[in-house]
Amino acid sequence: MLQNIIDRRLAGKNKSIGNRERFLRRYKDQVREAVQRAINGRSIRDIEKGEDIAIPKRDLSEPVFHHGQGGIRDVVHPGNREYVKGDRIERPQGGGGQGGRGNQASDDGEGEDDFVFSLSKEEFMQVFFEDLALPNLVKTALAEVPEWKSQRAGFSSDGTPNNLHVVRSMRGALGRRIALGASARREIKELEARLAELREQAGAGDAALTRDHAQEIEAIEARLAHLYGRMRGIPYLDPIDLRYRSRIKVPVPTTKAVMFCLMDVSGSMDEQRKELSKRFFILLYLFLTRHYDKIELVFIRHHTQAQEVTEDEFFHATETGGTVVSSALVLLDEIIQARYPTSEWNLYVAQASDGDNWHHDSSRCTEILENKVLPLVRYYAYVQVAQTEQNLWDEYLGLAERHKHFAMRKVLDPSQIYPVFRELFKKEGVDA
C-alpha cells in the first residue's frame, strides 16, 4: 500500500563525491599550496588533520553574459513609505537601486570573500603524499588504519541479545524492585502490625470499641489490598534492567618506538633546507605511527655542540658557527643508554644536514655510528639537503655499503625524500 512512498535514505549518499573530486582536481595548485603552508606550520605530530583551503572567488567564477552598470532601468520595489510620483532621490552608492535582480548583485560583486572549504584528513594526506612522490603501495600502507581488536570494556545498557549478561541484569532488576517497593513495604509492615493489634483487642470484647475497630480494620484491609496491588505492579524485569557485555575496539598493541631527529642547525641551514628536512622527519614519523602504538620523539640539534630541544626550538632557532656532527651522535648514544634500552624500544634515527662538517670529525662519526649506534637502531636514515659532497658524505657512503639498515640520500626537492626509506618500506611491505 506504500508503493508511492519510497525510502531512499539508504540509497547512495555522497553522490557528489565525483563532483567534489573534479573540483579539487581543478584547483589542485591552490590546494597544494595551502597544504604546503600547513605542513610548514604544523608540528610533526599533528600532520594528520584536515585543513581549510581558501580560494579567491574570482578564480571560481563561471562567466555568463549579463548586463553591466549603466543604461536605463525601470525597477519595481515593494514597501513604498513616503514616495509619490515624480519624487527624485539620490542614487544609492554601489548600484543599490537595482535590488530586483538578486543574482546579478552576487555575480557582479568581485571577490569580496574567498571561497573557503575544508579538506578532509584523507584528502590532505593524499596531497602531501603526492608531493613526496610516494609509490602507491606505500601510500596505502601509510593511509591504512591500524589493526583493531575488540576487547571487553565493562557493561553497557544497550547491545545485542547475544551479549546479554543475565546475572547483571537480574541483579539490577532485584535492586530496582527493592528500591521501588520500599515505601509500600514499610507501610504494609506497619499496617499489618496495627491490624494484628486490632484483631487482638477485638477478641477482648467491648461492643462499642469493636464497632470502631471493625471500621478501622476495614479501612486498613482496603489500604493493604491497594498496597499489595502496587507491589505486584512492579515489573519483575524491566527493559532498563538489562545489561550487556560491552566490547570496544582498541588498536592492536605493538611495541614502543622512539624516533630521534638529528639536525644540523649551523648557519648554513636556511629555512628552506629546514622545511625540506621537516618533511623527511614527518615521513618517518608517519611510517612509525602505522606500526607502533607509542612513539616518542627526541629532537637533537647541533652545531659545534649538541643539545636536546623541543620540537619548536628544533625547527625555529638558528645558530651560527661551525659544525661538529659527532657531538650529536655522542649525545644520541648517551640518551639511548640512559633512557631507551633496546629491550623495550625500537630505535629509529633520522638525520638531516647540509653535509658540512669539521673535516677531522667525519671519521669519528663513522666510528661512533659503526660501533655504538648502528648495532642498536632498527633504521638509520640520513639526508643531505645540499648538493656538494664533502668528507662526511664519503664516510657515510662507506657505512651504507656495510650496513643494510643505514640509508642515505641527497635531497633537493620533497619528491626525492622517499627513496631514503625505500628499504624500510620494502621490508614492511613484504611483512604485511
- Binding footprint of other proteins on the chain (CB under 8 A): 1-2, 4-9, 11, 13-16, 18-26, 60-81, 83-91, 97-102, 105, 107-108, 115-118
Using the Cα atoms of residue 227, residue 232, residue 236 and residue 240 in order, give the sign of their dihedral. Answer: negative
Measured in degrees and rounded to the nearest 5, phi and psi for residue 20 equal -65, -45
Other residues' Cβ atoms within 10 Å of the Cβ of residue 407: 18
Task: Tell me the closest approach of the beta carbon of residue 25 to other proteins, in angstroms.
Answer: 7
* Sheet arrangement for strand 406-410: 306-309, 295-302, 256-264, 345-353, 379-384, 406-410
Task: Tell me the closest approach of the beta carbon of residue 33 to other proteins, in angstroms.
Answer: 18
DSSP class of 371? I
* C-beta of 2 vs 167, nearer to other proteins: 2
H or E element, residue 135: none
* C-beta of 85 vs 152, nearer to other proteins: 85
289's grid cell: 605511527
How many whole angstroms separate alpha carbon 88 and alpha carbon 79?
Answer: 17
Task: Tell me the closest approach of the beta carbon of residue 181 to other proteins, in angstroms.
Answer: 34
Task: Tell me the closest approach of the beta carbon of residue 29 to other proteins, in angstroms.
Answer: 14
Residue type, 342: T
What is the residue whose three cell numbers read 624516533? 259
* C-beta of 53 vs 336, nearer to other proteins: 53
* C-beta of 52 vs 271, nearer to other proteins: 52
CB burial of residue 80 (10 Å; 0-12, 13-18, 19+): exposed
* C-beta of 118 vs 371, nearer to other proteins: 118
Task: Tell me the closest approach of the beta carbon of residue 135 to other proteins, in angstroms.
Answer: 23
Task: Tell me the closest approach of the beta carbon of residue 120 to other proteins, in angstroms.
Answer: 11
